[in-house]
């Protein structure tokens, strides 16, 4: 079956819209995955409609370039189209699998672009810049950080700060959505977020990365 494009004309470029959760009368993500394996193009389109903006939002956070983020969305859903048989519902949800794909593809793309000087001379306002600062050395380290390294850095945080940053950067949620998920006031979630970033900058793991590159 032909692979459908993920966003139509007029779609928002902000990446702020929440993913469309399945309603009671719609198939679950896991059911849709099974249908994609059976070459049901309608199931794939439903997944794209449900999660393309979430994937775009994740890719934008990592790549800070809309065109490159669009490419990641295309790659993610092409992979879903071709490899849905690899999804194992006993190990997680369909949404979680797509989110993991988005992060892996976006980090791989950022590494590829950084090696080719894509970000040279640009002001990339990203998580890694926040953690490491704004010098050339800091930016070099930041662009080399992988998801695994970020997860390692997050381990040094208090539980609420760690959970907030994981949901924001690895779960694709906005602070308002995290507030609802954790059942915490938005002001407190903001506090966890900014205190967590500040603590990360001073963490032993980040300091080790600095020392390794000097």
Residue with tokens 């797509």: 98
pTM score, two decimals?
Answer: 0.61
- Confidence grade of residue 23 (pLDDT, cut at 50, 70, 90): low
Over residues 163-187, the pLDDT tens digits come to 998 888 777 778 888 999 999 998 9
CATH code, residues 127-213: 1.10.10.10
CATH architecture of 29-115: Orthogonal Bundle (1.10)
- pLDDT of the residue at 10: 37
Domain boundaries, the chain: 29-115, 127-213
């Amino acid at each position: 079956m032909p692979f459908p494009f993920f966003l139509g004309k007029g779609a928002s470029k902000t990446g702020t819209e929440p993913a469309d959760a399945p309603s009671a009368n719609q198939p679950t993500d896991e059911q849709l995955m099974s249908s994609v394996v059976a070459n049901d193009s309608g199931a794939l389109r439903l997944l794209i409609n449900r999660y393309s903006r979430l994937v775009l939002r994740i890719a934008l956070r990592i790549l800070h370039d809309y065109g490159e983020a669009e490419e990641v969305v295309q790659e993610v859903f092409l992979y879903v189209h071709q490899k849905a048989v690899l999804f194992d519902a006993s190990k997680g949800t369909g949404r979680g699998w797509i989110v993991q794909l988005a992060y892996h593809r976006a980090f791989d793309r950022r590494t590829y672009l950084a090696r080719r000087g894509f970000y040279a001379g640009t002001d990339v306002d990203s998580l890694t810049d926040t953690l490491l600062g704004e010098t050339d050395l800091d930016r070099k380290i930041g662009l080399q950080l992988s998801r695994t390294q970020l997860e390692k850095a997050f381990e040094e945080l208090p539980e609420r700060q760690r959970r907030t940053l994981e949901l924001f950067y690895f779960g694709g949620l906005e602070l308002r959505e995290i507030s609802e998920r954790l059942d915490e006031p938005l002001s407190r979630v903001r506090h966890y977020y900014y205190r967590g970033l500040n603590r990360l900058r001073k963490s032993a793991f980040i300091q080790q990365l600095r020392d390794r590159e000097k």
